[in-house]
Amino acid sequence: MSRECPWSGWAPPNVDWCEEELCSWVVNPADSVSNLAYIGFGLLMIRQARGHKASDIVGLFGPASILVGLLSFAYHASHTYFFQFFDFVGMFGFCWAPITANALRLEWIRPGARLPFYAAGVAICSALVPIVSETPLPIQTLVALLIAVVLVQELSIARQQRTSSPATQRRLFFLALGLLAAAGLASLADITRTWCQPTNHWIQGHAVWHVLSAAALYALFRFYQQLPPPRPAPERAGASAERDLA
């Protein structure tokens, strides 16, 4: 009688990465363990964000990195469609951290609204997953669109700074983009079987994606960390008048 595997009764994901599936609680060891990079960088970002002058801008990066690490680990450890959905939730959390930071810089939102703004963005994108999955578009299109939003935001800020304030040093921002591009190429080489050794449970192209994209998120964190804190919300005239009368 053949041994039943722990996740054999679960529906498989709609993506088949190169690493072969083991009959184990951790189906894809390399693709699973590499998510520790997100968790390690996340803990480091939480530590470095404490008490920082730009904590409103960078405070979400550490928790977002830990979230994507835990959810991606669950997905690759189980190799199931159920946890694949939560893997996308983690990636949305990854993307909405810089989107929220830029929303503060652009004064779209006030510091007190950053958590509702972030949570609403992640929730809306997560709700779109089952809708997009019924179309010919890959679900990863949502992640690509969010990355495009970050780029458009940064371009808008750069244009404003040409006339209103000194230019921001963007070396770390471009480093993050370079790391993300390299991560994407590694993952593409994996899914297309350009780089594929199924029995290698130490290193895989998609595992490299995890490590490099985690480093990219940390580079973005350091970029935003150098920025001044967001300006406080303008005081209501009525509140100021009440204090003057008092």
Higher-pLDDT residue of 230 and 227 is 227
Burial class (CB in 10 A: 0-12, 13-18, 19+), 1: exposed
**Nearest of 226, 246, 220 to residue 150 by alpha carbon:** 220
Please compute the mean of the pLDDT values over residues 135-160 and round it to a whole number.
89
125, pLDDT greater than 90: yes
Domain parsing of the chain, residue ranges: 29-245
34, pLDDT greater than 80: yes
Q: How far apart are CA 147 and CA 143, in angstroms?
A: 6
194, pLDDT greater than 60: yes
The predicted model scores a pTM of: 0.85
- Concatenated DSSP letters of 19-35: SPPPSSSSS-HHHHHTT
158, pLDDT greater than 70: yes
143, pLDDT greater than 50: yes
Answer yes or no: are the C-beta atoms of 146 and 125 closer than 8 Å.
yes
**Nearest of 113, 107, 103 to residue 146 by alpha carbon:** 103
At the topology level, CATH places domain 29-245 in Rhopdopsin 7-helix transmembrane proteins (1.20.1070)
Q: How far apart are CA 71 and CA 178, in angstroms?
A: 24
Give the tens place of pLDDT for each residue, 36-89: 999 999 999 999 988 766 667 788 999 999 999 999 999 999 999 999 999 999
pLDDT at 1: 35
236, pLDDT greater than 50: no
242, pLDDT greater than 60: no
Q: Which residues, other chains included, contact 178 with Cβ-Cβ below 8 Å and sequence gap of 6+?
A: none
**Nearest of 45, 85, 87 to residue 69 by alpha carbon:** 87
145, pLDDT greater than 50: yes
Please compute the mean of the pLDDT values over residues 181-187 and round it to a whole number.
95
Angle between helices 140-164 and 114-132 (to 10 degrees): 140
